[in-house]
Chains A and B, each alone.
Chain A
Amino acid sequence: MSTTVWIIFWGAVATYLTRIGGHLVLSRFEHVHPRVEAALNAVPAAVLTTIVAPAVLTAGPAEWTALLVAGLMSLRFGMLPLFLVSAAVLIAGRQLVG
């Protein structure tokens, strides 16, 4: 196998370990401490924020407008309308701003 295929293979093994690892390690404990529980509950907002934050920082007016619209949409609507309207705002904004 080529080096590239080997890198893909080991990358896949490493990735699968991250996907089963949390569960395999955690299931060794019979009781989950309330602090661990609270920490786990905070995971989604924490991780997804870190994926969004740099994109927001390096964005421009078109992107910020789209995010603002997404924020307002989230008060009343579900994910799909939020996403479609914000994406439309983004594309329209980029036509204007470039």
Chain B
Amino acid sequence: MTADAIPQEDEPTAATEFWAGAKLSFPVIVAASPFAFLFGAMAVKNGLSVFEATLMSFAIYGGASQMVGIDLFGQHIEPWLIVLSIFAVNFRHVLYSAAIGRKLSVWPTIQQALGYFVLTDPLYAEVERKGEAGRHIAFPWYIGFGATLYVSWVIQSGIGAYFGNLIPDPHALGMDFLLPIYFFGIVLSFRARPNWLPVVIVSGIASLIAYKTVGSPWHVSIGAAAGVALVALLPVRQGGEFER
């Protein structure tokens, strides 16, 4: 029986929920694993030990911010600037946490504290998709997704740090472009939402301008803020999706 492998006993469906969440994380693990390996390999190349590389995945758990972090480690930049850059890349989580906060607030505090620790772009997207379908977010389902992705990210980072130099041709394997494809698919899956197209266009253009002018970590926050500000300024829709 699979049930005895899972600690939750308060709800008969907890094991099923956990497994359902874990299964949803598998495509994300496939998409993210090249980045975990790449992160580990690059971290060691930039002077981190295998332990430090794994610790970084264990404690920060934010792919893009970890990549930016080790990039700066290699350049001997002031420590506080590295921390600030990590914060900037991860700032988008403030928006995720605000958006799903009402759905998670029915959980006990410790579950919420844990839940926010494993909150990532793909998990956020899955929560929104489930919420879109009008379904309640169960902690076992959420942690099934979050913990599975988290554990594999940490382990794969460690493996990457160990064996990183052995990857023959990361480019030929499309490693650098798997996550953009994944996020593109998620963006497309939101197309039924009100204001979807204007938001995508404005955020896209604003992020590209920021990317070219301010530089890399900030294009995420600036571009997203532009798209969200647009919606805040547009007339609020009262009824159906396409009424004004």
Task: Give every chain A residue within 8 A of B195 (Cβ-Cβ).
Answer: 38, 42
Closest Cβ of chain B: how far from A8's Cβ, in Å?
A: 5
Question: In the complex, which residues of chain B have a beta carbon less than 8 angstroms from the beta carbon of A34?
Answer: 236
Indicate whether B15 reaches chain A with its CB closer than 8 angstroms: no
Contact in complex: A21, B223 (CB < 8 Å): no
Which interface class (under 10, 10 to 19, 20 to 34, 35 or more) fits B? 35 or more
The docked-state distance in angstroms from the alpha carbon of A20 to that of B116 is 6
B116 & A16 in contact (Cβ 8 Å cutoff): yes
Minimum Cβ distance to chain B for residue A14 (Å)? 4
Asked if A38 contacts B194 (CB within 8 A), the reply is: yes
**Chain A, residue nearest B101 (CB):** A23
Residue of B97, B102, B117, B181 touching A86 (CB-CB under 8 A): B181
Chain B residues near A17: list those with CB within 8 A.
87
**Contact of A20 with B31 at beta-carbon distance under 8 Å, contacts A3-B79, A15-B61, A15-B87 already known:** no
In the complex, what distance in Å separates the CA atom of A36 from the CA atom of B234? 11
B94 (CB) vs chain A CBs: closest residue: A22
A45 to B69 CA separation, bound complex (whole angstroms): 26
Structural contact, A14 and B86, CB atoms closer than 8 A: yes
B98 at the interface (CB under 8 A from A): yes
A22 touches B56 (CB 8 A): no
Q: Evaluate contact between B94 and A4: CB separation under 8 angstroms.
A: no
Given A40-B99, A48-B187, decide whether A87 and B178 contact each other with a Cβ distance below 8 A.
yes
Q: Could you say which residues of chain B place their CB within 8 Å of the CB of A83?
A: 27, 30-31, 178, 181-182, 185
- Asked if A15 meets B189 with Cβ closer than 8 Å, knowing A20-B113, A90-B174, the reply is no
Contact A86 B208 (CB under 8 A): no
A54 to chain B, nearest CB (A): 5
List chain B residues, Cβ under 8 A from A87: 174, 178, 181
With contacts A47-B121, A74-B189 taken as known, whether A7 is within 8 angstroms of B207 at the C-beta atoms is: no
Q: Assuming A43-B95, A45-B200, is B119 touching A19 (CB within 8 A)?
A: yes
Check A45 against B95 for contact (C-beta < 8 Å): no
| B183 near A48: Cβ-Cβ < 8 Å | yes
Proximity string of chain B (157-197) to chain A, C-beta cutoff 8 Å, 1 when within and 0 when not: 00000000000000111100111111111111111011110
List of B residues within 8 angstroms of A82 by Cβ: 185
Q: Is the beta-carbon distance between A52 and B183 smaller than 8 angstroms?
A: yes
Q: Are the C-beta atoms of B62 and A48 separated by less than 8 Å? A: no
10 chain-A/chain-B pairs, Cβ below 8 angstroms: A11-B65, A11-B69, A15-B62, A19-B119, A22-B99, A38-B232, A39-B231, A45-B196, A50-B207, A59-B180
| A residues whose Cβ falls under 8 Å from a Cβ of B | 2-12, 14-23, 25-27, 32, 34-36, 38-57, 59, 63, 66-67, 70-71, 73-74, 79-80, 82-84, 86-87, 90-91, 94-95
